[in-house]
Amino acid sequence: MSDFHTLAIVQHPDSVPPYSSTPYLYELPEFTSVCKGQLVKVETERGELMGVMMADSCTIDDEKLGFIALAMHATLPLKRVLSVYTERKMDYKDYTDYTKPAEEEKTDG
């Protein structure tokens, strides 16, 4: 029986060229879904780096992993995605619009 692997193709836009334009192959926990454009933190030979998902994650078997790794010049075993960042709108119940100038206090005098 084959093992399954969930893959992530990640680009590091904040890195120094040529690393910034090259997509890299990483592994996610099995059957994890991450979408194209999401920010992720990955482990690399140079430490932890932020990156952007270049495609939706996909789950494949061992045989296909070998072909994809060969095509992308990746070394097995793959490095891992450590965390995924999602955009979440903050909800402030006591919100005050700080962009408006405060009204001047009127004094009797």
**Tens-digit pLDDT string for the chain (109 aa):** 569 999 999 998 877 666 667 899 999 998 889 999 999 999 998 899 999 999 999 999 999 999 999 999 999 999 999 999 987 776 777 666 656 555 555 556 5
pLDDT at residue 14, as a whole number? 75
Total domains in the fold of the chain? 1
Does residue 32 sit within a domain? yes
Does residue 60 sit within a domain? yes
**What predicted TM-score, i.e. pTM, was given to this entire model?**
0.75
Rg of the Cα trace of the chain?
A: 22
Does residue 98 sit within a domain? no
Does residue 92 sit within a domain? no
86, amino acid identity: T
pLDDT at residue 84, as a whole number? 94
pLDDT at residue 86, as a whole number? 81
Report how far Cα 9 is from the mean position of its chain's Cα atoms: 10
Strands (E), the chain: 4-11, 23-28, 39-44, 47-53, 58-61, 81-85
Report how far Cα 52 is from the mean position of its chain's Cα atoms: 5
Does residue 72 sit within a domain? yes
Does residue 64 sit within a domain? yes
By residue range, what is the domain housing residue 61?
4-85
Nearest to 34 by CA among 89, 90, 88, 82: 82
